[in-house]
Amino acid sequence: MRFTLPCSPSLLCIDRFSLLESDEDEVPFWQIFRAAITARIKGWGDLVELLETIAVTLHSSSLRDYDTLRGFLQDEWASKETHFFTEVWPKLVQLALQMPQLFPESSLLCLSEEHRQLELSRRQVGCLVVHQFLCSLPQQPWATDSSQDFRIWYSSGSRHSMATRAYLCSIFTYFQRLSGVGNATGPIFSPLMNEWPITFTLRVLRENRVVQLDPSLLEHPIYRLTVVHLPIASTEPSLLGLPDGACVVSANKNVGFGQTGTQEETQVGSSPECCPIVLLTPTLQDNQVLIVQGAEAMITIKGYGREARLDSVLAADYGFSSGDSQWSKWRRRTMLFMDALPLDQFTVDKRTIADHLPGHVDRELLKAYNAFSSGSPKGGCKSNYTEIVTGLWGCGAFGGNPQTKTLIQWCAASMARTNLRLVLSGEDHDVLASELNEIMKMAREGLWTVKNVLDKIRELKPSD
């Protein structure tokens, strides 16, 4: 399966605005796009008109309004308008128009069991992100509720306006970095001057039941579990498993960014280089996880859900020399996208713990083990990750039981022979933190193995 890029000669459209001198009923979209984007654009109003022209040309419809985008630009970037269009915009246009050279096949080979990894340069990823901003990409060739572009952040009526503004800040900060020019027209550290590969990997596990795994995995001793309790959720770099660990992203089966403030949306929305996952990753199956390596975050976000909002803009940790990039913590950043079961669909009453229904523990354990063992060298059994940083995976809208989900992840990390750091936030988890600390004490004193913990989980019935 391939994702068609806008430079493909096969992507034809009607020239509704007569931007070309052509008598053909349909012309390649790329010709229209090139004419539209190279027109003189001097301000935010012109930019919105360009977005509308592209939307009507490619999708035959426009958004009802662009009020959220306009409001963000007028409120928070008003003083930067002249600088943006004299220094930043020309570089973005140049990068967008490099697509035929950066992607000679005019398409992306999507991840699948036959094609499990795609490695892109930061320039290639930057080109894709610019097109996501311009909404110049066609729809994905699979059924999904994930948007292929950023239009979901542009219109009024968002229920999570603070989160949306944070995501827009992330994108525009990224664009300024891409240009290599700061607010005072002095040079700044640019991702394009500090190159490293950004890797997207679909990891597929052959086994679909725990009994099919190597039995020795269950005999592994329980590794260290550390519980961190914060007053408020955060995407601070210290909570991302940097530089040599990995961070769990509590993903939907259709991975990507969104309009609200879920953990997945804040992780992806704060890291523009991760946003192209929606173009590459069909719906995750039970035996699949997505691993993204090398995506740099532009901002930190604090809060969750309706309270998610911009916290700070991050400084680049590399310099002007291409050699500096080898020391960047972002180069080795690893994001583990793993979708939990939507257990809210199974819960029938308050006494029922859907996590313990038949097959559910196996499914979640295998999903987590698939992700956590992704750091293992080929043929090896010990993960190279120094630790896995996670939260209450699948315990929000999906209805998972926090204690059960944590124990499952603890088992999976121990099977992969790595440590687990659980990050809790808010005042509601004091009891959970206390319970987990007690279980950890029992595990240490009893020299528990993975099997011991799994037996404890399986002793619980759905009605317990």
Residues in binding site for substrate: 252, 263, 304
Residue among 283, 284, 287 at smallest CA distance from 212: 287
Q: Annotated binding site: which residue ranges?
A: 252, 263, 304
Q: To which residue do tokens 């992100």 refer? A: 129
Nearest to 338 by CA among 398, 407, 297: 398
SS3 122: helix
- Where does 77-224 have alpha helices with state H? 81-83, 89-97, 99-102, 122-134, 161-179
In single-letter form, the type of residue at position 366 comes to L
Contact predicate 88/73, CB 8 Å: no
Angle, CA 165 vertex, CA 120 and CA 253 arms, to 5°: 50
Contacts of 121 (CB under 8 A, 6+ apart): 102, 195, 197, 198
Least Cα distance to 274 among 341, 195, 336, 339 occurs for 336
**177 Cβ neighbours under 8 A, 6+ residues apart:** 188, 189, 190, 191, 298, 316
User: What is the rounded distance in angstroms from the CA atom of residue 251 to the CA atom of residue 129?
Assistant: 20
In the structure encoding, which two tokens stand for residue 446, read together? Answer: 């009893």
Token output for 194: 């500090």
